[in-house]
Amino acid sequence: MNSAELARQFNLANVLRFEDTAGGLIRGVISSPMAEAEIYLQGAHMARWEPKGHRSALFVSSKSLFAPGKAIRGGVPVVFPWFGARPNGMPGPAHGFARTTEWTLERTALKAGGEVEITLGLQPNESTRAFGYSDFAVRFRVTIGSNLQMELAVENHGEEPFLFEEALHSYFAVSDVRQVSISGLAGTAYIDKTDGYQLKEQGAEAVRIAKETDQVHLNTKTTCVVHDPMWNRRIIIQKSGSATTVIWNPWIDKAKGMSDMAPEEWLDMICVETANAANNAVRLAPGESHKLKASVKVEQI
């Protein structure tokens, strides 16, 4: 469907409209008494969520390429069916194909409480089959209001077990990443991807960012909180169906080499990713399904 057809079928009066962008993508724009938000059909990508009374909760780079086939730098990329590089040196884009594929808009609804609910689906196509993925279905449902609720559901339609990784690769906006802390990961084991993939243990203290950080925390189902004293707020990330939490910030040198991030923007963001990756990859038997959920709330302190 083109944007005009989508608008006729899925717009919600006064709160949700679908439109073309200058870069050639289709997005949904949400403006409700509860929040301002944007979601792109490419990647089922949440690119803005600003609950009323708060600063924007999501970071998006000023250099991000909003173009067909290009990943958006920021917001909430949907990672599937692998995390990072494809395993065993096999060819494929970083973080899988879901974030650069156009999803199908399936449903929109205005809930009784005033939240806007949007459901998008991803089915096998010529591109996914080229990577050997032909027997799956993915559905992303997002509920946009004072909280941001996201659900990623995966089904195995094949006759063999299906092993995959997944993540809601959330970029959160912060005042200065050097001043924030992330609680909820005390005592967890993590893979340090900046130090030869060594397995390390997080101490009792909160995670702080003082250098390039890429930590894959394993076997953790707990709530994480981003504490931001300069903005007098905290961002609370609750999750279910997720056994991995990833903390990422490129820091100075890596950011300089990223064409879709301005040199100083590493200061403005922290990724706290709700995931199933590495040792926590999901294996589905034929006919089985799995749901990963994240609920995000912003509180002033």
Q: Tens digit of pLDDT for each residue in 13-57? A: 999 999 999 999 999 999 999 999 999 999 999 999 999 999 999
pLDDT reading at 88 higher than 90: no
C-alpha 9, offset from chain centre: 26
Could you read off the pLDDT of 71-80 as tens digits, one per residue?
999 999 999 9
How far apart (Å, rounded) are the C-alpha atoms in residues 176 and 230?
Answer: 8
* Burial of residue 183 (number of CB atoms within 10 Å: 0-12, 13-18, 19+): middle
Could you read off the pLDDT of 180-223 as tens digits, one per residue?
999 999 999 999 999 999 999 999 999 999 999 999 999 999 99
Please tell me the predicted confidence (pLDDT) of residue 211: 98
pTM of the model: 0.97
* Burial of residue 230 (number of CB atoms within 10 Å: 0-12, 13-18, 19+): exposed
| CATH number for the domain that contains residue 206 | 2.70.98.10
Could you identify the residue written with the tokens 């509860």? 34
Structural domain tally of the chain? 1
Could you read off the pLDDT of 133-180 as tens digits, one per residue?
999 999 999 999 999 999 999 999 999 999 999 999 999 999 999 999
Catalytically active residues are 169, 273
CB 229 within 8 A of CB 281: no
Please tell me the predicted confidence (pLDDT) of residue 287: 98
How far apart (Å, rounded) are the C-alpha atoms in residues 49 and 118?
Answer: 14
Please tell me the predicted confidence (pLDDT) of residue 245: 99
Range of the domain at 166: 3-300
